[in-house]
Amino acid sequence: MKDIGEDLPGRPVHAVGSQPLVVRLAVDDFQCEVLQKLARLEAKMDMLMGGSQPGRLTLHENRITALERNDVRRSVYDRLLNAIIASVVSAAIAMHDHFFR
């Protein structure tokens, strides 16, 4: 029977009652799995943020900025048009007696 400190890779670690506490995985398998996951994560981050080219987030930020500029410009034109229409309607109501006798 082994002590807890005398474990070997790939073999179970035994306590005093001969019950396996931990089953050790081969270090190489675990490292390969972690490295594969990191590589996938890195590829996804490069796709989103872009490496040397602009990524998806940068392209979306540029589109949103352009839409915001157009929205501000359009709201100014809409306000001017609404002011002109309101002035014409107000003038027509005020001059109603002069036009329709």
Measuring CA to CA, how many Å separate 19 from each of 5, 11, 26? 15, 13, 20
Q: What is the distance, to the nearest Å, from the Cα of residue 71 to the centroid of all Cα atoms in its chain?
A: 23
CA distance 91 to 85: 10
Q: Are 88 and 80 contacting, i.e. CB atoms less than 8 angstroms apart?
A: no
Task: Considering only residues 77 and 50, tell me which one the structure prediction assigns the higher pLDDT.
Answer: 77
CA distance 86 to 16: 91
The mean pLDDT value for 60-67 works out to: 89
Dig out the tokens for 41 from the structure: 């994560």
Alpha-carbon dihedral of residues 9, 14, 19, 25, nearest 10 degrees?
-10
Per residue in 5-52, pLDDT (tens digit) is 455 555 555 555 566 666 565 668 888 899 999 999 988 887 777 666
Instruction: Give residue 1's pLDDT.
Output: 46
Q: Are 1 and 18 contacting, i.e. CB atoms less than 8 angstroms apart?
A: yes
Q: What pTM value is reported for the model?
A: 0.36
